[in-house]
């Protein structure tokens, strides 16, 4: 088994390779002009068959088929433009929770039905309704993360502290960051109870879900994408410098920096087996990095 070559989790789409049927790979609906497109405007379902997009002028977010590019569902519920989306872990059958944040300073929690491949039960053609309404922010929601295993939602806004809600909509606690950390741009939460927040002044903060601030760090890169490992021990970051970096979450110790790319990083994800880091670049290309978190694990290092 060891001698088998590693199978990359990405391959070139035949439609793009042959340059035919490109309309099936494009979403042509225009976003609101005031929206700055970023990775949190998009969410993919766990089976990769549907993409959810926000930022439309009509205050909706929409569901598209990744195979055909066809619009499948339009979901209304907010009073202003939807600014970010998030997805929980998926249950058996592909069910999961979808989180939407808006300029109306609220978040709505929705249920994705893996059987009907739509938001809500939709059995009788009824309009989808949110499972919970999360309030407490005073300004536009800029980023949010949901951890269904812990039953919490963590969100940030243009001004004011980040908040932790239960999935029933109850406000549980406030995350008090250093006073110069005002606008949260990116949030990642792990099922182990770690939460990492990146602020627009270049600072990172690591919290526990109990609200305790563990550590802070300042970076000189304009970070556009962050990703936590599944166990919440490691943080991947990427930004305009085009360098993917690996950090230890608890104390923000830098563990590794991958070779720099010739374009800025706009989005990032980990493959399911945590062995590949996939980054979307400002140039439009996708770069895949091989990854092995074990090399920094203290048990692995002392045992071998």
Report, as an integer, the average pLDDT of 57-65: 97
pLDDT recorded at residue 227: 97
First to last CA, the chain: 20
For the cut 70, the answer to whether the pLDDT of residue 124 exceeds it is: no
For the cut 90, the answer to whether the pLDDT of residue 16 exceeds it is: no
Same fold, 31-218 and 222-303: no
Report, as an integer, the average pLDDT of 256-262: 95
For the cut 80, the answer to whether the pLDDT of residue 246 exceeds it is: yes
Under CATH, what is the fold of the domain 31-218?
Methylamine Dehydrogenase; Chain H (2.130.10)
Nearest to 121 by CA among 134, 132, 133, 110: 110
Report, as an integer, the average pLDDT of 213-235: 94
Separation of alpha carbons 292 and 20, rounded Å: 37
For the cut 50, the answer to whether the pLDDT of residue 228 exceeds it is: yes
- 6-13: long-range pairs with CB below 8 Å, 24+: 6/275, 6/290, 8/276, 8/288, 9/271, 9/272, 9/273, 9/276, 9/278, 9/288, 10/276, 10/278, 10/286, 10/288
Report, as an integer, the average pLDDT of 79-84: 98
pLDDT > 70 fraction of the chain, expressed in percent and rounded:
95
Q: Cα 101 to the chain's mean position, in Å?
A: 13
For the cut 80, the answer to whether the pLDDT of residue 190 exceeds it is: yes
Separation of alpha carbons 245 and 253, rounded Å: 11
What is the value of pTM for the model shown? 0.92
Report, as an integer, the average pLDDT of 275-283: 95
Confidence band of 303 (pLDDT split at 50, 70, 90): very low
pLDDT recorded at residue 304: 41
Report, as an integer, the average pLDDT of 182-210: 94
pLDDT recorded at residue 138: 97
Confidence band of 127 (pLDDT split at 50, 70, 90): confident
Report, as an integer, the average pLDDT of 165-170: 96
pLDDT > 90 fraction of the chain, expressed in percent and rounded:
77
Domains of the chain, residue spans = 31-218, 222-303
Residue 2 burial (CB count, 10 A): 3
For the cut 90, the answer to whether the pLDDT of residue 139 exceeds it is: yes
Going by CATH, does the domain composed of 222-303 fall within 1.20.120.50?
no
Pick 295 or 147 by higher pLDDT: 147
Cβ neighbourhood burial of 35 (10 Å; 0-12, 13-18, 19+)? middle
Nearest to 279 by CA among 254, 252, 248, 243: 243
Report, as an integer, the average pLDDT of 11-27: 82
- Average pLDDT across the chain, whole number: 91
Spatial neighbors of 299 by CB under 8 A, at least 6 apart, are: none
């Amino acid at each position: 088994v060891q001698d088998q070559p590693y199978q990359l989790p990405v391959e070139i789409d035949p439609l793009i390779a042959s340059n035919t049927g490109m309309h099936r790979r494009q979403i042509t609906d225009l976003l609101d002009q005031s929206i700055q497109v970023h990775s949190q405007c998009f969410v993919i379902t766990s089976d990769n068959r549907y993409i959810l997009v926000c930022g439309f002028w009509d205050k909706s977010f929409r569901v598209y088929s990744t195979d055909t590019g066809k619009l499948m569902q339009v979901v209304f519920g907010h009073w202003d433009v939807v600014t970010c989306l998030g997805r929980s872990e998926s249950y058996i059958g592909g069910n999961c929770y979808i989180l939407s944040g808006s300029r109306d300073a609220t978040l709505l929690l929705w249920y994705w039905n893996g059987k009907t491949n739509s938001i809500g039960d939709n059995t009788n053609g009824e309009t989808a309704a949110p499972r919970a309404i999360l309030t407490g922010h005073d300004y536009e929601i800029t980023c949010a993360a949901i951890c269904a295993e812990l039953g919490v939602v963590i969100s940030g806004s243009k001004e004011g502290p980040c908040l932790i809600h239960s999935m029933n909509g109850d406000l549980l606690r406030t995350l008090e960051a250093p006073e110069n950390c005002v606008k949260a741009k990116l949030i990642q939460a792990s099922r182990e109870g770690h939460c990492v927040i990146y602020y627009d002044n270049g600072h990172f903060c690591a919290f526990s879900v109990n609200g305790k601030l563990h550590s802070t760090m300042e970076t000189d890169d304009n970070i556009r994408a962050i990703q936590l490992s599944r166990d919440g021990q490691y943080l991947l970051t990427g930004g305009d410098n085009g360098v993917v970096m690996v950090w230890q979450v608890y104390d923000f110790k830098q563990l590794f920096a991958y070779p720099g790319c010739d374009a800025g990083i706009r989005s990032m994800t980990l493959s399911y087996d945590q062995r590949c880091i996939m980054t979307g670049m400002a140039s439009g290309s996708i770069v895949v990095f091989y990854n092995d978190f074990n090399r920094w694990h203290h048990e692995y290092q002392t045992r071998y």
